[in-house]
Structure 1
Amino acid sequence: METLKKIYQITIEINKLLEGQDTTIERQQMIEQISSLIEKRGEYLQFIQPPYTESEKTIGREIVQLNKKMEAKMNALFTELKQEMQQMKQQRKSTQSYINPYRDVQTMDGMFMDKKK
């Protein structure tokens, strides 16, 4: 029972962290904190064994509901990170093409190739 309560508390902490995302600097710290909390929670999950009491079952149901919310928030965060990475990649490509606009041009202007021998 005590282990299940710890898992519940850790799940609540993870959800609170996911709700409070503000800037990219804070987001890096938030991701690190979430990772450590998930690892800690995984350690506690190993110690849960049946049979379960009714109170443990209700706490378990609440944890499952929180997990669904947490998963949705983490997926949203992941897609946001992917979009930012794509934008950075595109911005880097645009900057490179601005610095050297003729780098990717492969034309044969002014060149005559005679195929007959």
Structure 2
Amino acid sequence: MNRIVPIYQLTESMLQLLSQEIDSHNREEVIDIFQKKMEERGQLLEAIAPPYTQDEDKLGKAVVQMNQDIEQKIKYIFFALKNEMKQVQQQKKSTTSYSNPYKNIQSMDGMFLDQKK
């Protein structure tokens, strides 16, 4: 039996998982499922060793191509998460600034400083 088929199928399911629409509501669930699949695939990858047949070689190349697509999708998710975190920080700053607008103003106007000691 072809040893690469389970790895190929698992990689394909990972790609399909990342191909669905991912937003802030389901992101954590998708990442958890993806992480479990990555661990399972890692165990399968450790179990195989050369020599490979021609069919296994073809499937291996397809898996490598899918890995590149998965990597791009993961980078996109990371970028979206990073932007969302920046927006939350900016919103915190705006809220603080609105509630206490004079907090960060440093003015010497109206203050007497005695230079002598």
> Does the 8 Å CA contact 2:11/2:66 hold for their aligned counterparts?
yes
Deviates more, 1:100-109 or 1:53-62: 100-109
Runs of 4+ in structure 1 over 6 Å off = none
1:72 aligns with 2:63: no
Deviates more, 1:95-104 or 1:106-115: 106-115
Q: Which runs of 5+ in 1 are unaligned?
A: none
Provide the alpha-carbon RMSD of the alignment: 1.4
Structure-1 residue corresponding to 2:37: 37
Q: How does 1:1-117 map to 2 (within 5 A)?
A: 2-116=2-116
Deviates more, 1:86-95 or 1:99-108: 99-108
What does the per-residue CA deviation read over 1:86-110, in whole Å, with 9 as the maximum and x for residues that have no partner? 0111111111111111122222221
What does the per-residue CA deviation read over 1:18-63, in whole Å, with 9 as the maximum and x for residues that have no partner? 1102431112111111111111111111111001110110000000
Whole-angstrom CA distance in 2 between matches of 1:69 and 1:23: 19
> Does the 8 Å CA contact 1:21/1:27 hold for their aligned counterparts?
no
TM-score where L is the length of structure 1: 0.92
Tell me the percent identity.
Answer: 43
Q: Which runs of 5+ in 2 are unaligned?
A: none
Match of 2:26, SS state, is helix
Whole-angstrom CA distance in 1 between matches of 2:96 and 2:84: 18
